[in-house]
Amino acid sequence: MQTVVKTKVEFKVYLELTEAEARAFEAIIGYGWEPFATFFYKSLGSYYLKPYEKAAKSLFSQRQDIIYQLYNIDQVRKAVENVNTNPGLDIAPEERLPSPEEPVNH
């Protein structure tokens, strides 16, 4: 009987992006893999990117997730701006928190 031992070591890198970096990333991957690769290979050659083509395609497949997160950021920003410009908007008077200037009645 022969024993075969296989070992697999896998590393993952987690990348945290600022909003601006996420928007830049979305702008780059928004072209799609094929147009990007065609331009990249024509302009810069394939030496550096070709070995990582499968991984690069995977990065481009993340576009919908990035768009979703950016949409959420936009919605939160609109909500905050709305509250800042219209205090108490869509909040019944009894549900509003008192402003710092209003006395609190217990």
3-57 pLDDT per residue, tens = 999 999 999 999 999 999 999 999 999 999 999 999 999 999 999 999 999 999 9
Question: How do residues 85-100 score in pLDDT, each as one tens digit?
Answer: 776 555 555 555 555 5
CA distance 87 to 76: 16
CA distance 36 to 76: 31
- Report residue 101: phi and psi, to 5°: -80, -20
